[in-house]
Structure formats: C-alpha cells, structure tokens
Amino acid sequence: MHVSLLLLAKPVLHGYFRSSCSWRVRIAFALKGIEYDPVPVNLIQDGGQQLSEQYKKLNPMQQVPSVEIDGITVSQSLAVIQYVDETRPGPRLLPADPKGRAQVRMISDLIASGIQPLQNLHVLQKIGAEKAQWAQHFIERGFQALEPILKQTAGKYCVGDEISMADICLVPQVYNAERFKVDVGQYPTIKRLNRTLLEMEAFKVTHPSCQPDTPADLRS
C-alpha cells in the first residue's frame, strides 16, 4: 500500500481503560488531534485477554498498549508517543531545545521505567497479599525523587511552560498513586502540576472513568 494511504488510515489502539500506559497514548492522540479506533483488551477478564495467543502475535510481551499505525505495530507507550510526535502535526510533545528534551525524557523514563512497572498488574499479582503496601512503597520512593526534579524543571507544566511527554506520563501515575492511597499532598509540585493538567480537555476526555470499556460502576 502506498505510504500516503497508510497515513490516511486511523491508528488502532489496543488498550485497557485503567492502564496508565494506554492512557498515555490516549492523551498523546488527544493532544495531537489524532482519531483512532479503540480495541479494548481486558486485563482481568478470561484470565487476562492480553495473555491470549491471538494477542501475543500482536505484542509478544503481552502488555498494553499496542498501536497499529502506518503499517507497523508499536508496543511501548513512549515509543508510540515519540513516533506520533515525529510523524504528525500538532503541538510538539518534546521540546526543540536539546536540554529541554533531555529533561522531558528523564522525567518520562523515571515514571515509565522507575515507578510504573513496579506497580503494574502483572507484578502485583505475583506479590499477593502485600500488593498495596508494595505499590505504595515504590510509588512514594519514585515521587520522593520526582518532586525535587520537578521543582527544578517545572513552569506551568513539568518542563517549562509547554506541554510535553513528561506531563503525559505524570497524570496517569498520580492517578495510580491515589488508587493506592498515597498522600500526594506530600509532593506539592506534583500535586500542582496534576491539578493543572486535569483541567485540560485532552486529559479529561481520555480519563479512565469515561472510556468505552470502563465498567459501569467506575464511570463518572
């Protein structure tokens, strides 16, 4: 198929309403004005639909999200965000300035590699009865590092006064922190940034409480 026809096709986002990695991609698409077709992958139902042989062919790591876009499948949220930033018009999600880009990537990686994987579903299922305390510990450990970094880098948003991939990573992680009863008030910069970002339409419409696969009792 000609490249221009591939670009006309809507991306397909295989994700889960409460997956923070899926939410990151939804936010990026919303900020860029990208229409997409959602395909829910229920991480609980049927023993975890991401563990099916069919889904494993799409994503060998059996995680969400997976995005079919421009004739390829991309299966890591930060890779998806950077790909759409490089191939689609709209607000820039990484700064033009190399120092700003480094700061955005540092914050994004701190969350996406240093906090989120330690409290994702697969890990917590292995931990068992102590899962809430485990999640709290590693989120607080990460936030204790993130707070002083953001004090240095933040303006209106995580890095200066332009929205970036760092903001896209922050909000879902704060949502997870609140789910696990972490007192976000201990981290005033994180709390302020999260409050500001949640007022933005791109963060509101992509929120886990209002997705096609959100259970009725969690809708708002």
**Residue 82 sits in the same domain as residue 153:** no
**Residue 136 sits in the same domain as residue 158:** yes
From 56, 91, 126, the end of a domain falls on 91
Tell me the C-alpha distance between 211 and 123, whole Å: 24
Q: What is the pLDDT of residues 74-92, one digit of tens each?
A: 999 999 999 999 999 999 9
Residue 38: C-alpha distances to residues 29, 51, 53, 67 (Å): 12, 18, 20, 9
Contacts of 45 (CB under 8 A, 6+ apart): none
**Residue 106 sits in the same domain as residue 196:** yes
Determine, yes or no, domain membership for 159.
yes
Number of domains the chain is built from: 2
**Residue 132 sits in the same domain as residue 103:** yes
pLDDT value at residue 147 = 98
Q: The domain containing residue 32 runs over which residues?
A: 3-91
pLDDT value at residue 7 = 60
Mean pLDDT for 145-170 is 98
Determine, yes or no, domain membership for 213.
no
Q: What is the pLDDT of residues 170-203, one digit of tens each?
A: 999 999 999 999 999 999 999 999 999 999 999 9
Over the chain, what is the mean pLDDT? 92
**Residue 50 sits in the same domain as residue 136:** no
pTM given for the model: 0.93
2 band by pLDDT with thresholds 50, 70 and 90 = very low
Task: Give the CATH number for residue 34.
Answer: 3.40.30.10
**Residue 120 sits in the same domain as residue 191:** yes
**Residue 21 sits in the same domain as residue 116:** no
Tell me the C-alpha distance between 25 and 78, whole Å: 8
Pairing mode, strands 66-69 and 12-15: antiparallel
Under 8 Å between Cβ of 10 and 37: yes
pLDDT reading at 10 higher than 80: yes
**Residue 105 sits in the same domain as residue 61:** no
**Residue 66 sits in the same domain as residue 151:** no
Determine, yes or no, domain membership for 211.
no
Residue 176: C-alpha distances to residues 59, 122, 181, 208 (Å): 24, 15, 9, 11
pLDDT value at residue 124 = 84
